[in-house]
Structure 1
Amino acid sequence: MSDEPRPHRTAAVIPAAGRGVRLGPGAPKALRALGGTPMLIHAVRAMARSRAVSLVVVVAPSDGAAEVRHLLDEHPLPERTEVLVVPGGDTRQESVRAGLAALPPDVTSVLIHDAARPLVPVDTVDAVVEAVRDGAPAVVPALPLADTVKEVEPAAAPGEPEPVVATPERARLRAVQTPQGFDLATLVKAHETIAVNGEGATDDAAMVERLGTTVMVVPGHEEAFKVTRPLDLVLAEAVLARRRATDAY
């Protein structure tokens, strides 16, 4: 066997099987329109804009894979980017695992990206990819916190006062975004090793941390925010309108 390193190939997995109940009733969150286009399409395009990403795997609701495939076929993507659609599971962890299982054997690194972060700039995507290719087994983009954070003892019922038990040092805290990047073998090992009950893992980097592996942070971007609530959608529309007005999108 040759001792030469394998050539790098990076894929992105977008778990989009959730319902997004905090945005209210209607279509799944990933299929909500942003500027007239489903958020999922914006998220796929955000990954495809990186020349380092040659494959995007979209993990669709188990009963909606055909609909998602049809949506993707209706919206143009760079010809260099292959897009697969696979059905997801009941939890985000199961859906990510389904996406990883669909990757071809020549993929060496993978990005896990939230469909609800449709406006992440390509420079952020490239920074994560570059850090993984430079040898980091796990990389997350993140921003310093603007607000002071309090650790509390959770109340027995919603709305009740909660006692503060600690105030973490803000300078040491970061708000994590996506895409999170991984050496593929490292992330697969985490999913095979770490069992998470209930809703499953909502942060793949945290699973890698539990292996004892160091996760590195690169600068995130303020426009890579997560569209979770109606007000987030209003902000996303404003960002998209500004980009289109300046020919930046």
Structure 2
Amino acid sequence: MALVPLGIEDNRNSGALARVRGATLLTHTVLGIVGSGCVDRVVVAGPQATRAEYADAVAAAGDRRIVLAPGGGDRIESARKALLAAAPAAHDIVLVHEPTRPFTPGASIRAVVDAIRSGAPAAVPVEPVTDTVKVIDSRGEVLRTSERENLRRAQSPRGFTAAFLRTVELADALNLADVRAQAVPGHPNGLRVHTPFERTVAEALLEERE
């Protein structure tokens, strides 16, 4: 099985290279991935402008299962290049993860894998939506309140059978467009870390681990 983190970020200020308690988010993320116990290869797609920094982050993880591949001009192209580097034909399941989700629990990763092994062509961890969601028009006026009962926040990794990925457009697959993906339980720790507030949360989570 291959696991392919998306390596593309803003090349001027790559969020994956932000440091939390001495290590980059990318390093924390790939360590969490291999720590799940269900992955045999991790391919990180590194943007050209920050390739050296990505290489350092991968090296800091200290695991030969983690390798660096050239990134593309956007997240889809980066995922495509990482998939080619991962040689998906040699694996039955491909997981696509975001490099700025460093605390995704191993249980969430294993749940995605289990769903695919049980017959789903695709799977994604999700969390319930707890805020009230409003639908607005182009003028910013509220049209209606969306019912939360069937709404979920998608997290990652998003998992696919390698055979399924060969039959669809990669962009459609990653966006789960017209894909009968199986939802599995996500976790609050599966948050994406981008903002200063989220980095503060990340600091707290890492402190709890120590």
Q: TM-score, normalised by structure 2?
A: 0.92
CA RMSD of aligned residues (A): 1.9
Q: Aligned match of 2:198 in 223, 229, 232?
A: 232
Instruction: Go from structure 1 to structure 2 and tell me whether the alpha carbon gap of 1:228 and 1:66 turns closer, same or farther (over 3 Å shift).
Output: closer
Calculate percent identity across the aligned residue pairs. 33
Instruction: Name 1:14's counterpart in structure 2.
Output: 5
Shift of 1:70: 3.1
Deviating more after overlay: 128-137 vs 65-74: 65-74
**Unaligned stretches of 5+ in structure 2?**
none
Number of corresponding residues: 209
Query: What is the identity, as a one-letter code, of the residue corresponding to 2:117?
Result: R
1:64-119 superposed Cα distances (whole Å, 9 cap, x missing partner): 33432233223333xxx612211111111111111111122311111111111111
* CA distance, structure 2, for counterparts of residue 222 and residue 126 of structure 1: 16
Query: What is the identity, as a one-letter code, of the residue corresponding to 1:233?
Result: R
Shift of 1:27: 4.1
Does the 8 Å CA contact 1:139/1:181 hold for their aligned counterparts?
yes
Instruction: Name 1:177's counterpart in structure 2.
Output: 155
Shift of 1:15: 1.2
1:184-236 superposed Cα distances (whole Å, 9 cap, x missing partner): 222243236x6xxxxxx7x7042xx33xx311100000001011211111111
Q: Aligned match of 2:95 in 98, 105, 111?
A: 111
Instruction: Name 1:142's counterpart in structure 2.
Output: 126
* CA distance, structure 2, for counterparts of residue 221 and residue 75 of structure 1: 24
Q: How does 1:156-171 map to 2 (within 5 A)?
A: 162-171=140-149
Q: Aligned match of 1:59 in 15, 33, 45?
A: 45
* CA distance, structure 2, for counterparts of residue 75 and residue 137 of structure 1: 31
Q: Which runs of 4+ in 1 moved over 4 A?
A: none
Larger radius of gyration: 1
Is 2:60 aligned against 1:74?
Answer: yes
Query: What is the identity, as a one-letter code, of the residue corresponding to 2:4?
Result: V
Does the 8 Å CA contact 1:46/1:118 hold for their aligned counterparts?
yes
Q: Secondary structure at the match of 1:143?
A: strand
* CA distance, structure 2, for counterparts of residue 123 and residue 228 of structure 1: 23
Q: TM-score, normalised by structure 1?
A: 0.78
